[in-house]
Amino acid sequence: MMSEQHAHTTESQADGETIINPVRAIVAGHGAFATGVISAVEQITGRGHVFLPISNTGLCLDDIQQTLAHALDETGARVIFTDLPAGSCTMAVRRLVRSRPGVVLVTGINLSLLLDFSMQDDTDPVAAASGALERGRASMVLHGG
Amino acid sequence: MPIALYRIDDRLIHGQVVVGWGQPLNLRFIVLVDDEVAESEWEQELYRMGVPPDMSVYFHDVPSAAAALPDYQQDPRPGVVLAGDIGTMARLVDAAGGSIRAVNVGGVHHSPGRTPRLRYVFLTGAEEQALRAIAARGVDVTAQDVPGARPVGLDELLATTLDV
């Protein structure tokens, strides 16, 4: 489900004041994946507010697609991150991207990728996603064995 | 090798199918039975992109799926037959001449007019009748979203009403 905060923006607190932040990307996935990974971004950088979380829990494919389309319309975001290449959110976004030039999908994401993206406020979101993709890939390393 | 799973799932190809069932069953092919997808090259490409390179996907409408089913059932690779709705699976069971012995209800999600039975199964009266008709042909109908979950038999499924 889409989060209950105002759909165009997210809110954060600084010095006791509420700050309205534009959503720069949507994170969609299974169960609590999106809220979980965004909470990790928030814990590490305090910048979880640049993301809007969406879960596929309890939704059929058509409802997932409608929820994502609504989120894109409401936020104006042009970047969607999903968790799994074969996941239902990914399949729904692929359909949406077909009719929405300029919207990009990055699938198979991890925390390093989102952290990198979240720190690039001054970069166009699509370009930021492309750069963050490399950071996310590079972060996966096998140690020991 | 017999088909490992005949599954009704309104998300069609997605994580539970490709990973949740795909890895423990070592699935190597998916037969996706859907009249609309069978007519759309673009939709087929979309679903092909969702599976690993070592997994094949074959697309059929119900009549062609029924005709091809004996070949799939003799394929040495483990495979799954996937339908997006109960009506499609019911038609396939009817056309398959008794060769489908078990049907898995894996995901029929909420929509208006459906009663919640499990957190992943919501059914209209017509869909319940269709499931009973499948079972009346000697098919073992159970609900089970992932391999580690307990299979829920049809009588128990239809006797359950979930508070949502």
Write down all domains in chain B, each with its CATH number in brackets: 5-159 (3.40.35.10)
Q: Cβ of B57 under 8 Å from any chain A Cβ?
A: no
Q: What CA–CA distances, in Å, run from B76 to B4, B21, B103, B131?
A: 11, 18, 20, 29
Radius of gyration of chain A (CA): 15
Q: What CA–CA distances, in Å, run from B47 to A50, B98, B125?
A: 30, 29, 30
The domain of A30 spans 9-136
Q: Cβ separation of B47 and A91 shorter than 8 Å?
A: yes
Give the model confidence (pLDDT) of B73-95 as tens digits: 999 999 999 999 999 999 999 99
> For position A25, what pLDDT does the model report?
98
**Which helix (H) or strand (E) element contains residue B88?**
helix B86-95
Does residue A19 lie within any of the structural domains? yes
Q: What CA–CA distances, in Å, run from A107 to A27, A129, B136?
A: 10, 11, 43
Q: How far is B87 from chain A, CA to nearest CA, in Å?
A: 16
Q: Cβ separation of B51 and A86 shorter than 8 Å?
A: yes
Does residue A105 lie within any of the structural domains? yes
Q: Cβ separation of B110 and A88 shorter than 8 Å?
A: no
> For position A20, what pLDDT does the model report?
63
Residue B22: φ, ψ to 5°: -60, -40
Does residue A65 lie within any of the structural domains? yes
Spatial distance between the Cα atoms of B66 and B93, rounded to a whole number of angstroms: 8
> For position A21, what pLDDT does the model report?
65
Global confidence as pTM:
0.85
According to DSSP, residue A89 is labeled: H
Q: What CA–CA distances, in Å, run from A64 to A53, A69, A92?
A: 13, 9, 7
Give me the number of domains chain A comprises.
Answer: 1
Does residue A55 lie within any of the structural domains? yes
Quote the tokens at residue A142: 């096998």
**Which portions of chain A are predicted below pLDDT 50?**
1-7
Residues B104, B142: contact at Cβ < 8 Å? yes
Does residue A1 lie within any of the structural domains? no
> For position A19, what pLDDT does the model report?
61
Q: How far is B36 from chain A, CA to nearest CA, in Å?
A: 14
According to DSSP, residue B39 is labeled: G
CATH, residue A91? 3.40.50.510
Q: Cβ of B134 under 8 Å from any chain A Cβ?
A: no
**Which portions of chain B are predicted below pLDDT 70?**
none
> Number of CB pairs < 8 Å for A and B?
52
Q: Cβ of B119 under 8 Å from any chain A Cβ?
A: yes
Q: Cβ of B48 under 8 Å from any chain A Cβ?
A: no
Does residue A74 lie within any of the structural domains? yes
Does residue A144 lie within any of the structural domains? no
Does residue A145 lie within any of the structural domains? no
